[in-house]
Amino acid sequence: MKLRQQRNAPMLYAVGSRLLALLSVLFGVSLISFAMIHLSPGDKAQAIAKARYPESQTFPTDILNAIRVEFHLNDPFLVQYFHWLKNFLQGDFGRSFSSGATVWEIFVGNIGETAILTVSALLFGLVLAFLLATVSVWRPGSFIDRFAVALASIGAAMPSYWLGLLLIMFFAAHLNWLPAYGTGSLSHLILPTLTLGLWVTASQTRLLRAFFLEAKSAPFVETLRLRGVSETEIFWRHILRHSAIPALNMIALDVASLLEGAVIVEIIFARGGVGSLLAGSVLSRDYPVILFLVVFFALTYVAINSLVELLQDLLDPRKGWSSSITCTSVNTEQTS
Amino acid sequence: MTSIETGHDHLQPQSKPSRTTINRRFKRSTLLMPLAVAAIWCSALMLTPYDPNATNFLLRLSPPSSEHWFGTDQLGRDVATRVLYGGLWSIGLALVITSVGAVIGTIIGLTAGHFGRAADVVLMRVSDSFFAFPELIAAVTIAGLLGPSTSNMVFALIAVSWMKYARLVRSLSVSISNKDYVLQARLNGLPPALILSRHILPNVLPNLLVLWTNGWSRSILSISGLSFLGFGVQPPNAEWGAMLLDGKTYMQTAPHLMIFPGLAILFAVLAINLTGDRLRDRLDGR
């Protein structure tokens, strides 16, 4: 009876409390983003006017005043915030100051490039990391193992912008094999994918290797070995499955950081995408676009993190249903 | 007072390593390498005959030679000297940023963990909200909106760095405050401030140190990255990221402009990472 209770009721509780926590974080995220834009120095009306009439330098006060009324710039902060939040929740993200197109249109036009880059880098990086980790746990301490670990350490310390520049210098400028800048054909994708993918390899090789090694010395693997199951079968059928949960967790967390890395890579290789869109909008002070992108990145990050936590609970039967908030508070009350 | 001290000393040996052991462990070899690097770096800074910003138009873009070990840049400045001075910016600023972030995070974490449920919920939700912003994206946005300058970059990076310390300090200190020796101290009537400073903080410190080392190397990457994107340290200041940005234009004619600052970043980050790994291994193995 107690067992059943533990399995079912806390699940709803965990999902519910996590959703509540998620909502409060989303509210905080939107408030921080809006405050960030609101508190940034410089006259917003001036920026809007400059974007609207690019040819003139100074603007008469009545035009600036009209803009202030149009964009509710004279209202108090909280009124402006809830006005924006209401529109945002209804799917109205505003229009770009500089191009006049809706923010959503601009975003949809750019997210594809970023998604392609992120996915291809993730695939490339994971395949390489998997190969390296597999080879290195085959004989721990061997030359190949040490090589893989060293490669991972160096890769983790490698600034991605520098790696990108080196790749451009070698493959594009020196050998002239691949195009350095721009978007379009498949060959444009190779160098950015390498830059971002090697970063994934560096961070995942060490983790995968550690997970594999841990599983390899687990008691159940020892039992299998004693039963005479071959090492190959142990690895492919048991160690891999055993390491899948923690590995999945770390990979999902890397996806969130990958979006971050994509920003820099897009800028170095002058690719289209939300990263270069963000940098461009920050420089031209296109507030609606910046606000939307910042909220988008934060939402993606939060969504991925929450999904990972839920997945972990789902996949790992030993862990049971827990919630980050309730669990700790219960523990403190019990013990103190 | 003395009775309180002895009351808790009984419990000390099993749950808390004595301070001298930790000191000895840290001193031996873990800190030796970074100190040696710092010493070599300082003496090189003093020995270099060049000024990092002195231009020499007769020697523009010259390749590495015995006079200029790393060559000269587009204004004839000595790249080796600039790389040395660049470390002051990158490593020094990163040190400032992570230290300030760690102090802020520790204060917030302790407040959340030990000053009531309301403070806990509010502070942790706030730090969760801040956590939701990917570090670099938030830093680019803040630094870009405030205007590209060194102080704005420092502000932006501190704003996105304190949360991990707050989380770590909160969860660790709460679990430590449930330990028997803290309970004993509480029963003996030790005031909360003393419990925090004498029993909880010293036990959080080793883990904090590992996270801080980690944050330090990440900050170096962020600082150079932001400067490379033009949002951080501005030219003509010799910062590694800013030097890369300068050197990018001369990629084909003078590759040394790009190679040496990049190598400097790589080595600095690698050295700090390795030190951090070692620190962690030592603390885990105690």
Domains of chain B: 75-285 (1.10.3720.10)
Contact assignment for B136 to A256 by CB distance below 8 Å: no
Bridge partners of A95? A102
pLDDT at residue number B25: 55
Tokens of B248: 């990018």
Residues with Cβ within 8 Å of residue A164, at least 6 apart in sequence: A191, A192, A195, A264, A265, A268, A269
pLDDT at residue number B17: 53
Partner B contacted by A259 (CB < 8 A): yes
Measured distance CA(A273)–CA(B148) in Å, rounded? 22
Contact assignment for B144 to A36 by CB distance below 8 Å: no
Contact assignment for A159 to B147 by CB distance below 8 Å: no
Domain residue spans of chain A: 107-284
Residues 61-120 of chain A with CB under 8 A from chain B are none
Contact assignment for B229 to A279 by CB distance below 8 Å: yes
Give which of A263, A248, A237 is closest to A310, Cα–Cα: A248
How many residues are there in chain A? Answer: 336
A154 CB neighbours in chain B (<8 A) are 266, 270
pLDDT at residue number A319: 54
Please state, in angstroms and as integers, the Cα–Cα distance from residue A200 to each residue in A94, A133, A194, A256, following that order.
35, 13, 10, 11
Partner B contacted by A315 (CB < 8 A): no
Measured distance CA(A104)–CA(B31) in Å, rounded? 52
Measured distance CA(A260)–CA(A160) in Å, rounded? 11
pLDDT at residue number B15: 47
Partner B contacted by A187 (CB < 8 A): no
pLDDT in tens, chain B (286 residues): 333 444 344 444 444 555 566 555 555 556 676 777 778 888 777 777 777 777 777 777 777 777 777 777 777 788 888 888 888 888 889 999 999 999 999 999 988 888 878 888 888 888 888 888 888 888 888 888 888 888 888 988 998 889 999 989 998 888 888 888 888 888 888 888 888 888 888 888 888 988 999 899 989 999 998 898 888 888 788 888 888 888 888 877 778 888 888 898 998 898 888 888 888 887 775 4
pLDDT-above-90 percentage for chain A: 4
Q: Which helix (H) or strand (E) holds A273?
A: none
A265 close to A196: Cβ distance less than 8 angstroms: yes
Give which of B264, B226, B145 is closest to A267, Cα–Cα: B226
Is residue A206 over pLDDT 90? Answer: no
Please state, in angstroms and as integers, the Cα–Cα distance from residue A82 to each residue in A35, A72, A76, A272, A285, following that order.
12, 12, 10, 32, 22
Measured distance CA(A255)–CA(A307) in Å, rounded? 12
Partner B contacted by A156 (CB < 8 A): yes
The pTM is what?
A: 0.81
B270 CB neighbours in chain A (<8 A) are 153-154, 157
Residues with Cβ within 8 Å of residue A246, at least 6 apart in sequence: A207, A211
Please state, in angstroms and as integers, the Cα–Cα distance from residue A70 to each residue in A75, A229, B6, following that order.
11, 74, 71
pLDDT at residue number A336: 28
- Give the range among A77-91, A195-209, B23-37 with minimum mean pLDDT: B23-37
Is residue A3 over pLDDT 60? Answer: no
Mutate which of A165, A206, A329 to disrupt the B interface (most B C-beta within 10 Å)?
A165
CATH 3.40.50.2300 fits A107-284, yes or no: no
pLDDT at residue number B101: 94
Alpha helices in B10-50 (DSSP H): 12-15, 19-27, 32-47
In eight-state DSSP terms, residue B234 is: P
Measured distance CA(A160)–CA(B262) in Å, rounded? 10
pLDDT at residue number A282: 85
More confident residue, A161 or A74: A161
pLDDT digits (tens, 9 = 90+) for A118-145: 999 999 999 999 998 888 888 877 888 8
Alpha helices in chain A (DSSP H): 2-39, 44-52, 61-70, 77-89, 103-138, 143-157, 160-167, 187-216, 219-227, 231-233, 240-268, 274-284, 287-315, 324-335
pLDDT at residue number B103: 94
pLDDT at residue number B18: 56
Measured distance CA(A193)–CA(A265) in Å, rounded? 9
Nearest chain A residue to B116 by CA: give it.
A329
Is residue A327 over pLDDT 70? Answer: no
Give which of A240, A243, A258 is closest to A120, Cα–Cα: A258
Contact assignment for A331 to B178 by CB distance below 8 Å: yes
- Cα Rg of chain B, angstroms: 23
Q: Indicate if ipTM > 0.90.
A: no
Nearest chain B residue to A153 by CA: give it.
B270
Contact assignment for A297 to B125 by CB distance below 8 Å: no
Cis, bond preceding B236 (omega within 30 deg of 0): yes
Is residue A195 over pLDDT 80? Answer: yes
Contact assignment for A256 to B183 by CB distance below 8 Å: no
Give the one of B145, B228, B251 whose C-beta lies nearest to A169's C-beta: B251
Is residue A1 over pLDDT 80? Answer: no
A332 CB neighbours in chain B (<8 A) are 174, 178
A298 CB neighbours in chain B (<8 A) are 132-134
